[in-house]
Amino acid sequence: MRETVRKIDPAAAFCGEVPSESCNDVLDAHYTSSFAADAPIWQVVYHDYIQLFGGMHWMEQEPLPIGRHWLLGHMNQLSGSYGFASADIRPEAIQWNLDLLRCHHEFARPYLGYGEMLRPPAVSGDLPTLTGKGDDGPHTAQAVEGTAWRAPDGSVGIFFFNFHDQLHQFTWKKDVAEIAGFDTSKRLQMTQWTAEQGESLLKQVNGGNVSDTTSIAPRGLIALKREVIQ
């Protein structure tokens, strides 16, 4: 079947439900809607080899599970298949969902879609611990989490999401020399994506240990790209 369909459409993709290593040689993607564990073992091993898509369906289950799916490289659907957010929170819930989807489509896909997961940036600050409720069990996380990825072109993407409904200031650090090879001898161009302005060039920095202290809006995201200046 796979060979026949590919003759009709070489770009056709085969998807299954629930990640299964035994199917990786015949499937291109897996649907997944829950977390088996806090450690993203599957993404670390297989993310740049096979796609993961889905995410939580119910906006009532808060941004923690939906935002974490996005950070961990799942291609989110528009949540609400089995129940949208209540009327009092619906506009803002739809907005941050759309921001996640837009960022993935316009900027983050080489990383969150096709990238190799790197060690995540260290996030510190006066950040509360949140516990999200949901049918797949409670998920506990720091209010702001981040992930880092190496795209097929070698550039590095760094992403943060604020699960909380309050603005937070935080400090993050990431060694981009590890795995990605961006040591201090490399001069890097930093690019940022925002929902308001799209993609824009920021400053140039040296490789090695990079860090910053910044603020992130309630339910807000930060999307950064670093690439070697030729």
Q: Is residue 211 part of a domain?
A: yes
Those residues with Cβ within 8 angstroms of residue 79's Cβ, 6 or more apart along the chain or in another chain: 55, 56, 57, 58, 59, 66, 97
Q: Is residue 18 part of a domain?
A: yes
Q: Is residue 72 part of a domain?
A: yes
Q: Is residue 190 part of a domain?
A: yes
Residues 211 and 172: beta-carbon distance below 8 Å: yes
Number of domains in the chain: 1
Whether the predicted model's global pTM rises above the 0.85 cut: yes
Q: Is residue 142 part of a domain?
A: yes
CA–CA–CA angle 12, 76, 194 (5° rounding): 115
The tens digit of pLDDT for each residue in 125-173 reads 999 999 876 666 677 889 999 999 999 999 999 999 999 999 999 999 9
Q: Is residue 3 part of a domain?
A: no
The tens digit of pLDDT for each residue in 58-94 reads 555 578 888 888 999 988 876 655 556 666 667 777 8
The residue segments making up the domain with residue 164 are 9-228
Percentage of the chain exceeding pLDDT 70: 88
Residue 105 has pLDDT above 70, yes or no: yes
Decide: helix, strand or coil at residue 117.
strand
Q: Is residue 200 part of a domain?
A: yes
Q: Provide the CATH number for the domain around residue 131.
A: 2.60.40.1180
Residue 103 CA to residue 119 CA, distance in Å, equals 21
Q: What is the mean pLDDT of residues 25-48?
A: 81
Q: Is residue 2 part of a domain?
A: no
